[in-house]
Each structure stands twice: as C-alpha cells, then as structure tokens.
Structure 1
C-alpha cells in the first residue's frame, strides 16, 4: 500500500508541478517531467500490486472487498471476502491491488525423516459424518492439501491421512499441520494396532470378540489380527493406538525377598525361589492386548507390569502353594523335580487361556533351612539318614561276610572234591595195577603150563624150579658127576643133567 501511495503522489507531482511553474518551465522539459513522473508512478503502482513467492514458499491471498462468506465457512472459494483457498505458487504475481487484496508469503511445511505430518482442517465441504472422529483417508496426500479441491470434497476436522517425510506447499489458513514421530517398532517387539478410524468390518461371522473388542483384519476399525513386525510405519498417532509387545523370552525371578512362601501339610512354612520363563508370540499378541491392554505397562505403579501382576505372579503362587498342601516338608524337598514338572504343566495350561506360552518353571532353591523349625527338621532327618546309612553299611558288611564264607566253603568243597578225585584216581590206578598183576600172573601161569608141558609134567617142572632156586645160592663147586649119571640112567636124570648145564651156563 505504501508503494501504491508513493506512486500516486509521484503521478500527482508530475501533473501538478508543470502547471504551477507555468512559463518558467520549458515546454519540452514539462513534457519530459510529466512522462518521467508518469512512468515512475506506473512502475510504483504496478509494483504495489505484485508479490514474489520464493521456491520454498506459498502466497496467501486475502480479499478485502466482496460478498460475505456463507455462515460457518472461513475459506473463500468463489471470490468472497476473506482468505482464499487458492495459494500462489513460486514466482511473480501482479495486479493484486493493495486496497483490494492483502498478500502474504508462508514457508512450506517440511516433514523430517522419521516423522509424520498430522493434518487438521479448519474448514471443508462438509462436517465429519456422525460417529466419526477422523475424516476419510485420501488416496493422495497432495490432493488433500489442494485447498480448492479440498473445499469441494473434504471433511472439516482431523484428517486420517498423514504427510510422509518431505516438503509440502499448503494453505495455513485452511490446514493446521503438526509434526509427530512416526511409529518405529524395535527388534524383539511387535506393534499391536487398535484402529479408532477407518472402515468397519461388516462380516460379523468372522469377527472374534475378546473382552468386547473386535479382532479384525488389517485396515479395519478395531484391533488388527496381525501385529506389525519390526520396521518404521507412517500411521496417524492419534487415530491408531499402538501397543508394543515384547516377543522375546520374559524371565521372572521370585527369589530372596520376592520368594514364594509355601506351607506344607505338616505345617512347615518356608520360602521357595522360583524362576519362570514365558513368551508372547507375534500371532498371539493382538489377543493378549485385547485381554490385558498393554501387558508391559506398570499401571498400578508397584514395580510389576500388567502381565506379571495379573497373570504370572498370582498363577505361580497358587500352583506352588497347592503343591505344598499335599506334601510334607521333607517330601517337598525330596520331590523337587516332580514339583517342577507338575508346576510347568499346570502353568502352561493356565497361561494358554491368555495366549501366553511358557518354556518352563524352575525351582532355584527351597529355603527350608532358612527357618529354625526347618533347620531342626533337617537335622533330625540327617540323623535318620546317618543311622540308616550305618544300618545299610552293616547289612552290606554282613552280606559281604556271608558271601565271603560261602566263597571259602565253596573253595574248601572244591579242594575236597579234588582230594576225592585224586583218591578215586588212585583206586582206579590200583585196580588197574591189580588187573595188570592178574593178567601178568595169568600170563606167567600159562607160561609155566607151557614149560611143564615141555618138561614132561609137573614133577619135572618142580624139580626145575627147585634147582633154579638152588642155583641162585650155589657157588659152582658141585661135582659134575652128580649131573652126568650112567648109561642106564633114566630120562629124568638126563633131564636133570641138561638143566644143570643150562643153569651153569646162565650162571656164568
């Protein structure tokens, strides 16, 4: 406006001064002065109607005169007074008379990486439908920021469409853009999405209701049945409620001051250190959120997250206390492995209703020795065990002695059997020798019989034997005449003679 006024003053000066000076100013100078003043005034006037928009800016036009805007409308679309929907692109723009238009430039909106632009419109073609809190999503965010198009099709109010990282030219009189962080799902977690906007899922037969909350396919209103895996997502942070759920193993330690106190059937009370390992899979995460909301939130501010406070701890306490009620203290200590197995099976069954799984329940320590009564019980049990061991040792020694005696007896029996076997062998040998003697005697008898037959009878044989015995004692000095006999000697004498000669020959 100032430039426009200066232009008008310049034009006035160019016209008035030549008249006031009259003849004092040469005619040519007058013409030149008027032309110069007119050109300057024209330039100033035209300049006052121009606006230059930088490359990273948009031009906003406000009409000062015209027909009034319809009631409830704040953005003009048909030349009405007030902010115009159309924005001026980069470059020079003219003939925006300063008394008719007010021109402003605004910087483009830049959405940094890792963020989204949340858009709210101050005006629109129509209000939000009843029951809706966000306008229907636009297919192209640039079309949404086209103010002229938006004022024909868009809904007034919060927009479900978000701006992804980049630079956008927009009309700040129509749109309010707020930069917010994009959704980033870290490794080891998934994002369960509860959509408060979007299309409604009509196939009621396929909807799972958990705590009255529908579990629906991705993109529909409700809890999406598929959680988002680790990545970055450009979702409206107000339209979509995000619950990050840890999918890695969760280990809960109930030790020392947090130990689980149990009471056995014989009224002994002592702490048990327990460790449990549980896991929520990506597939089960939506159902866990539907039942427990955020399982990792410390809603009661007591140091326990929801999953532990409402599911894990009450369940594990009940399991171990129930196990203790049916066992005595010593039995409870002795059956530690059975208790672990039973607790794991029961725990897994209880968690299944929450769509949570377990890798196991582990008994780290049974603190029966931490109480005076427990120490006395263990001392008594130790004495019993020592006595039992001594009895068992005595029985083992007694058994060893019996076995040793049996071994000695068996050895002696074996030796007796050996002696008997040797005696039997000797008897057999004696019998065999006797038989041999008999056989030898029989052989000799047969030999004597043959000799008797050869000598002509028993008498001659007897004589022969007698002579043999005599010869064994004879010194060789018997007169030969006793042996020769006369010519009329009998045959026996002849035999005797022959025998004596033979004996003499054998003697020599």
Structure 2
C-alpha cells in the first residue's frame, strides 16, 4: 500500500482556498473565492481547469469535504488583490509554508508501519559499504520506522515511505527472524546474539546494541509486532516454504505423553564429551541466549525435556522423542552413564553416585523413568529366582542355560563319568549394580532376548544381563569347582560322598557369588552317570545284599509274627482272667449286698416284734395274761372255715352252734368236738391256737430313731450305721407273756 502524498501544486491550491475561506480575500473585480461544502466525495484526477482533492476521514478528519477551486488563470494575483501592500507578501509566505508542509505529510494506519527510504542526504552523507541501514539520517534505508498516525516533512522528492502491515504470529506458532543488517556473527556461533530490542520492534536499539546480521537466536511468539521488515525478515508458517523451512517446525513443539525429548543444540561451546552438561535457567531450551551465556555446549545434551509444549527455535535445537524407560515388575534397571563427572579415584568398576560417569549405585525400580538413552544405558536385571541346569536334556535356545551341558569329570582312579548339576541364583535389587559392575554391561541391542520356555521360575522374558552372568561367571565357577573336587575321589567314592561334595561346592559358590552381588539359593548334584563296567558289579553285589537282607527281614518278620500271636493270645487270656476276677468281685459284692438286705429285713422284723410286744404288754396289763390269750384265740376264729350248709336245731335256734364254736376255741381238746355230732357235720376246727410271738431284741437308729433287728449293722430306714443298742425285755415280762 502506497502512503498518501500531497503534490506541491495541490498544496498551493489548498492554501489559497483555506485563506480565502478564512479571510474572505477579494480579487480585482471584487469577487470572493468561494469554498463550497459538500456531503459527497468527488473522485478522479485533478483536471487542468478545476481541481478536486480527496482526503480520507481516517487520514485527516472525521468528515470528508470537497473543495472546489477556481482555475488559476481566473484567480487574480495576490499583489493585485492586496493592492501591493506588505500584507500580501505575508499571506503568500504563509501559504507557501502551508503548501510545503502539507506536501510532506504521511499518514500511517493503526495496523501499519511506515518503512522509510531516504533518497539523498547532502549534509549526512552516504552509508558505508558494510552498513545497509541508517541510524543518523544518512541516505538509504532508515532503521527507524514510522508508527501509526501523521508524520510531517517526508516529501516525496526526498523520501519513499512504504506502508506495511504489522507482523502477526498466530496462536500455537512461533516466528523466526533474519536480521538483514548488523555486525557479522562470529565464526564460533551459528545464530545472532539476542539483544533487548523490544522483540525486534526497535531497529535502532538492535543495531546500536551490537545486533548481528543473519539468523537470530531469539524468536517471536504469538502476537502482533511493529517490525521494520526491511531490517528484519520474519518467517512464519505463511511464508516458511519460500525460505525452505517446513511450516510444521514453526508450530509450538509438543512432547507427547509417555515420552521425553532428547535435545541436540546447533549452537554453543564445543565439548569433548559425548553430551553437554546440564545448564540451569534456560527454561528447557526456550531461552537460547541464557543457555549460551551460561556456557551451554553444542551438540547432544544430557538434559531432556518432559511431556509438554515448548517454544523452541528450530535453528537452535533439534528434539528427538523417545518413550520413557520402563522397568518391568520383578526387575530393576541398572544405570550406566556415559556423561557426568569423572570419579575421583578414576576406577571404572566402582559404583558411583548420580551425576558421575560409570555404574550408578542406586538402581531404577519398576515403573517409568525419564532417562536419556542416548547418553545412558539401562540394563534390566530380573530379581526373581533363576534355576540353571548343567544337563544334556533338550532346552530352548533362548534359555539362560541353553549352552550348559552335563559336567564331564574324571576321577582319581581314571574313570570318566558325567554329573548333572542344578544351581539356583537370585539377585536382590540393591545388589544388581554390583553384579553389572563385575559382569559388564551389554550393548543396547542385546538388552532383551526372545521370550520362550525357560528354566526361569517366574518369568519367560530373557535378559542379556543374566546371559552374561552365566557365561562369564557361573559356568566357569561351577565347572571349575567340580573339576577340582573330583581329583580327590575315586568314582564310586564320588558317588557315595555326593552329599559332602555338594555341601563343599555350595559353600564355595555361595561365597564367590556374594562378591558379585549374587545370592546362591542352592547347589544340587542331581545325576551321577558312572561307567557300566563300574556300576554293574556294584549293582549285582547290591542286589545280592538286598536279597540277603530281605530273607533276614522275612525271618525277623516271622519271629515277630509269632511273638505277636503269642501276645495276642496272652491278651485274650488276660481279658478272660480279668472278666472272671471281676465276676468274683461282683458276686462278693452282691452277697454282701444281700446280707445287708437280709440283716436290714431281720432288723425290721425284730422292730415290728418289739412293737407288737409293747402292744401285747399293754393289753396284758389291762386284761391279764389269760384274757389276752382268749382275745388271741378269738382272732383265730376268722381263719376257721365254716360249712357251706348251715343246719339249725329243731326249734330253729342256731345259738347253740355259735356257743359250741366259741367254747371249742376257748377250751380246745384233742378229741372231736361234740358239736360235730350235734350238727351232723364235721368241722375242721383248730385243735389249739398258736402261741403269740414274743418280742425280740432291737436296735434304735441314732439318726432317724427307727427300730432295727439286732443283727442289722445299718438302718433299714435311712441306711445309717447302728450302734448295737439292744431293746431287751426283762424276765418278768417274758414270764407274764407265758
């Protein structure tokens, strides 16, 4: 877009019209030069007879006006109009000044910049050959540009003013800058040094501060910038292809999740190391000048950038994204660093702290870690138990023990034989760096072997670290131990002393592996294959011995069987004997119980007799002995059986019969009673009454007071033991009973 310029002729006409409108200047005919407002804008060129001037409202005022100017040949001269006085000259000078000033006005829009080229400068001279931009008004391109607004004194015959749009950097993008002026970049650097120049918006500050010509280390981020595009070439995604740059490189650089960025710089101090050391304060390589000022090195960097978005200058850095280093479960990672400080003692096999070259003491445990794999190797070491077999059995080629065959030994008596051995090992996580330090680190391409069937107890994944351990340490250690041990034994002795040999081998291997950071979980001799000519006689003798031992065992067994039968019979006899003994004891106890029962019964009977005796004595005391006897005899009448047919006498009176019965009872005789003859029937009357029982001696129970026979030892009522206190009758009482 060309800037607005006002010619000298138009400026003069504008001045005349302005003075005429302000003062009402008259010509010689007394006519007024009219100024006519208009609401419309006339477009087109200025003709020879009339002139129209178009001024945009964004340049001068908020309202467009149209000035209609009379032809020059119709305008009287100022001298004629003024009558030749001094006022005319003053007006002419003012008009001339206004005309000259107006012709140098340049208007720059709010989203534009004005880039100035000065055609000549007699008083300032020309620029040196090595300088392209003027700082002090010399002829040529000016470092200082015009901002938005009105600018005076930029006449077209002296200046060329080029209006350019502001530089725009879209979101999520960056802009690269090439300085077209400035000091040359030193040979040891690739990019121009960054200066404080308001993001290249102050060209004078850039040049005066020592700005360097060429590709710049500083970049432009998202935004609008007023930049002198003659002094600075700004490369964006819109024009990247014109400069041979991939537009994608001008996007904000993003490191994907689960990855890290390994950085290589194109500028910095040369280094002899494989990678440059860590530098602080450069905001993950986004502040390139800070990196250079702090002594950052050119080339591969030790520091990595994590997941995120970064504004990186593609002329300054190159980023390679790699996955995070993952340590699987049941393993650890041993870090071997090729960068860092050199250990003080210089020993390459000693473990080192982080930040030093060599094998680091602290391993990486299961998980994901940010490791710069271009400068550090991570050796995976399994921590589970691993079983290794020295045998001739078929094994997958990926097994740790695929190359381990049965040991071929020769005994002291020159017999050759083979031995199968199993060695179980385990590597603790904290000891893995020590193991790698002794064994050595494999190359990155050999880290992991193919998965397959394995003697590994818990995993099918194979790691070259264990393969190297087996090849370099375990195989020579185990075979060497048995080669030496067999020299002290004959073949058969070796077989017979296998337990002792195994123990000695286990102790030796355990102590040696401990020095390498490996735990020996067990050493086992599994199979000893002796020659047939050596084993057959031994086998035959053993078979004969077994048969002999079997026969002896059978004899012993038979003898034991007889003893067992005898013991069983004796046991049965003892059972019967015990049974009979128990029967005798039971019978004795039953007899004793019966005696106690009889005694108790007798005591009860005696007690009843005592009671009856007391009753009898009481009756006797009342009726006398004979009266008592009569009473008892009368009681016996109840037991007499009377005839079923009762015959009375001739007068129908049966009292005689009753009297006869009573008389026979009270006065018994040994002959047939006359009553039998009287009644004509025979009656079986008792010849005499039995004598009443006399009371017996009794014992009163001291516990319950019950009377018991004197033969009782225990009370029939409560079972208490009796004191043998008899209740005896006196002789007088006995005589009274008689």
Instruction: Normalising by structure 1, report the TM-score.
Output: 0.64
The 1:26–1:320 alpha-carbon spacing in structure 2 relative to 1, beyond 3 Å, is farther
Q: Does 1:234 align with 2:370?
A: yes
What is residue 543 of structure 2 aligned with on the other side? Answer: 386
What is residue 217 of structure 2 aligned with on the other side? Answer: 85
- 8 Å contact 1:245–1:296 — kept in the other structure? no
Q: Does 1:153 align with 2:294?
A: yes
**How many angstroms apart in 1 are the aligned matches of 2:423 and 2:336?**
30
**How many angstroms apart in 2 are the aligned matches of 1:19 and 1:174?**
53
What is residue 52 of structure 1 aligned with on the other side? Answer: 168
**How many angstroms apart in 1 are the aligned matches of 2:561 and 2:303?**
96
- 8 Å contact 1:249–1:277 — kept in the other structure? yes
1:98-137 correspondence to structure 2 within 5 Å: 98=230, 100-105=232-237, 106-124=250-268, 126-128=269-271, 132-137=273-278
What is the deviation of 1:164?
A: 0.9
Q: Does 1:289 align with 2:436?
A: yes
The 1:333–1:169 alpha-carbon spacing in structure 2 relative to 1, beyond 3 Å, is same
1:423-434 correspondence to structure 2 within 5 Å: none
What is the deviation of 1:276?
A: 1.0
What is residue 69 of structure 1 aligned with on the other side? Answer: 185
Show CA shifts across 1:94-142 (max 9, x none): 3342564242341122112222212222223x444xx544333134551
What is the deviation of 1:42?
A: 9.5
Q: Does 1:365 align with 2:527?
A: yes
**How many angstroms apart in 2 are the aligned matches of 1:213 and 1:276?**
26
What is the deviation of 1:326?
A: 3.0
What is the deviation of 1:403?
A: 11
Higher relative contact order (CA 8 A, sep 6+): 1
- 8 Å contact 2:334–2:381 — kept in the other structure? yes
**Structure 1 unaligned spans of 5+:** 1-6, 407-508
**How many angstroms apart in 2 are the aligned matches of 1:26 and 1:161?**
76
Show CA shifts across 1:466-486 (max 9, x none): xxxxxxxxxxxxxxxxxxxxx
What is residue 354 of structure 1 aligned with on the other side? Answer: 516
Q: Does 1:280 align with 2:424?
A: no
Superposed CA RMSD in Å reads 4.2
Q: Does 1:262 align with 2:262?
A: no
- 8 Å contact 1:182–1:235 — kept in the other structure? yes
SS of the equivalent of 1:270 reads strand
- 8 Å contact 1:49–1:98 — kept in the other structure? no
**How many angstroms apart in 2 are the aligned matches of 1:141 and 1:42?**
35
- 8 Å contact 2:279–2:294 — kept in the other structure? no
What is residue 429 of structure 1 aligned with on the other side? Answer: none
SS of the equivalent of 2:219 reads strand
Larger Rg: 2
Aligned length: 382
Please state which structure has a larger fraction of its residues in strand.
1
The 1:333–1:184 alpha-carbon spacing in structure 2 relative to 1, beyond 3 Å, is same
**How many angstroms apart in 2 are the aligned matches of 1:82 and 1:145?**
20
Please state which structure has a larger fraction of its residues in helix.
1
**How many angstroms apart in 2 are the aligned matches of 1:93 and 1:296?**
51
**How many angstroms apart in 1 are the aligned matches of 2:234 and 2:329?**
53
1:109-508 correspondence to structure 2 within 5 Å: 109-124=253-268, 126-128=269-271, 132-140=273-281, 142=283, 144-157=285-298, 158-202=300-344, 209=347, 212-256=348-392, 258-294=405-441, 305-368=467-530, 373-374=531-532, 376-393=533-550
Deviates more, 1:161-170 or 1:45-54: 45-54
Show CA shifts across 1:331-372 (max 9, x none): 33344433332321222123233232210112333334xxxx
Instruction: Normalising by structure 2, report the TM-score.
Output: 0.45
The 1:76–1:323 alpha-carbon spacing in structure 2 relative to 1, beyond 3 Å, is same
